[in-house]
Amino acid sequence: MKPQLNETHDAALRSWVSSANTGNTDFPLQNLPYGVFRRRGSEQPFRLGVAIGEQILDLVAARVAGIFSALENQAFDRAILSDSLNGLMNLPPAVWSSLRLTLSRALRDGATQQAALASCLLAQLDAEYTLPAQIGDYTDFYTSLHHATAVGKLFRPDNPLLPNYKWVPIGYHGRASSIAVSGQEFRRPLGQTMPPGASAPVFGPAKRMDYEMEIGIFIGNGNALGEAIAINDAEQHVFGLCLLNDWSARDMQAWEYQPLGPFLAKNFASTISPWVVTLDALAPYRKAWSRDTADPQPLPYLESNDLRDSGAFDIELEVLLQTEKMRSEGMPPQRLSLSNFSHSYWTVAQLVTHHTVNGCNLRAGDLLGSGTQSGPLPEEAGSLLELTEGGKKPINLANGEQRVFIADGDRIIMRGWAQKAGSARIGFGEVSGTLLPARAL
């Protein structure tokens, strides 16, 4: 789990791809996240790529150019030639690190491969994306103490934080089939809600639509059924992280969530960013993880010295809103909140370990959601439910509009990045999604 810094993290490295050297790009040479793309509007098959500045390096074309000759074997070739990252995710972590080093050296200033690779680039503006991986299973966790407490006060004023929360990472099995890549447009869901004071539920469009700012965790190598992943081995099974918006219908959720938890209020849409940032790229942004001494400390299977030393990630998480009116008038989106993943009560490693402690088998491409990431301050809330205190406190937008929950035509944009002096900025790009009107009854 302890982060290993090497030559790929050197902040002084520069690329022959000039847009990677601006200092404010999400995708400098020190990042090199993976995605699946093709030329926009084409019928070309989707293929693996790596973001570098404003460009994408086509890994299939790079293989033809011969830069992976030292890595090539049957499994590696199948992975690179695939239309999803699953094959690459399923290779050993040592191969991930070797591929990262190979790419870093080939894209550096003065690299002998520049002439061969220059024709392997496509501008990101000219690309379209699909899901980075075939997601077999999706589990959403609930790792922000601040979010859990704030929401608990709204749903259960007398008992906001359930007694198991500080002992066990809470999660539920989500719906993989409705996860889509950034740019997703989806209809306001229909379902049952219980109006205040009513004696029977009604059926119709959800009225309290919300977003949830989350981190997505892509599993790499899985574990065999019946086996568990130990806490100090957990991150060897994580390929990388992405941004995740787990859309929620709060009025449907309030009616259906007891006793078995989220169902229709959550399974109609979830949106992830197209780029998967590796844990290797995030090594400079590891932080110590701690638990308040007044709280229960993790049980032994969720505890380790390495976890305490560097189990957290310092990743800024921003949420913005752009209404339909703002778009029509050419206005930029407006920031709603800014939080940080390091506030999370449970870590990436703890989620993986707990998920498998009963013998559950994870597989390459499985996705874990962190749960809404909210910080201790009101402006760090990762959902409208918290920001508006359950709909009692409208948000005033710069153009005079107000929002309590998401309106039809609203677009939610989320961004994530890690940045500090002495290290290169590591960004996630963005994930956006737009709410459309409900289908006719």
Known catalytic residues are 147
For the chain, the distance separating the N- and C-terminal CA atoms, rounded to the nearest angstrom, is: 52
Are 438 and 188 in contact by the 8 Å Cβ rule? The answer is yes
Q: Which residues, at least 6 apart from 440, have a Cβ–Cβ distance to it below 8 Å?
A: none
Q: Which DSSP letter does residue 61 get?
A: H
Q: Which of 242, 279, 268, 266 is nearest to 131 (CA)?
A: 242
- Rounded to an integer, what distance in angstroms lies between the CA atom of residue 8 and that of residue 423? 11
Letter string b/e over residues 374-394, b meaning 16 or more CB atoms within 10 A of that residue's CB: bbeeeebbbbbbbbbebbeee
* Strand locations in 95-212 (E): 121-123, 127-130, 138-141, 171-173, 179-181, 184-187, 190-193, 202-205, 209-210
Q: Which of 363, 293, 372, 361 is nearest to 339 (CA)?
A: 372
Backbone region of residue 345 per phi and psi (left: phi > 0; alpha: psi in -120 to 50; beta: other values): alpha
Helix then strand count (H, E) for the chain reads 11, 26
Q: Which residues, at least 6 apart from 355, have a Cβ–Cβ distance to it below 8 Å?
A: 139, 171, 362, 368
- Ordered DSSP codes for 352-405: HHHHHTTSPPP-TT-EEE------SSGGG-SSHHHHTTTTTSPEEPTTS-EESS
Are 13 and 30 in contact by the 8 Å Cβ rule? The answer is yes
- Rounded to an integer, what distance in angstroms lies between the CA atom of residue 293 and that of residue 434? 42
